[in-house]
């Protein structure tokens, strides 16, 4: 897996974001490209401490199994469901969503571990810097593939 902390992996994701246009269609799922880019910002904002998401009740029972599954080397599959706080129902401005996502991704490489301000994921419990990195990279990769880039 690549790393958002490392310039090469970070630039890979930014280059793929740059390939998106307002006309890019999803290969599966119901989100528009603008909704996807806004959606991808939310877990990064959570990791950076910009927004707060309450722990999910399932985390008290299943955090270990969720964490093991989602931070493994296996890529996400199409049936994954999002935390409800990360579901975007409105239609965001494409350029604003794109710029916002690119800025957040770039912060990983610029600030490194210092970018992560939260140690507890609302579903997976305590996470290391590297687990946050892996989870965010896999999430971005999943959605960029969803839109063909």
Give the pLDDT confidence score for residue 87 in this predicted structure: 82
Give the pLDDT confidence score for residue 52 in this predicted structure: 84
Residue 120's SS3 state is: strand
What confidence tens digit (pLDDT) does each residue in 9-37 have?
999 999 999 999 999 999 999 999 999 99
Q: For the chain, which residues score pLDDT lower than 70?
A: 57-82
**Which position has the token pair 């839109």?**
147
Give the pLDDT confidence score for residue 46 in this predicted structure: 94
Q: Nearest to residue 123, comparing CAs of 69, 73, 74?
A: 69
> What pTM value is reported for the model?
0.86
Residue 65's SS3 state is: helix
Give the pLDDT confidence score for residue 69 in this predicted structure: 64
CA distance 11 to 50: 23
Give the pLDDT confidence score for residue 124 in this predicted structure: 75
Q: Where are the domains of the chain?
A: 1-19+30-76+109-149
């Amino acid at each position: 897996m690549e790393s958002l902390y490392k310039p090469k992996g970070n630039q890979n994701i930014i280059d793929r974001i740059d390939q998106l246009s307002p006309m890019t269609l999803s290969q599966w799922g119901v989100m528009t490209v603008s909704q996807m880019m806004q959606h991808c910002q939310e877990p990064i904002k959570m990791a950076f401490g910009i927004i707060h998401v309450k722990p999910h009740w399932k985390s008290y029972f299943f955090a270990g199994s969720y964490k093991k599954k989602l931070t493994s080397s296996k890529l996400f599959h199409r049936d994954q469901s999002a935390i409800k706080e990360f579901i975007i129902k409105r239609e965001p401005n494409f350029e604003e969503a794109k710029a916002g996502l690119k800025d957040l991704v770039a912060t990983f490489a610029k600030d490194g571990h210092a970018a992560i301000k939260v140690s507890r994921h609302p579903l997976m419990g305590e996470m290391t810097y590297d687990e946050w990195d892996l989870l965010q990279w896999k999430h971005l990769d999943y959605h960029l593939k969803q839109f063909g880039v």
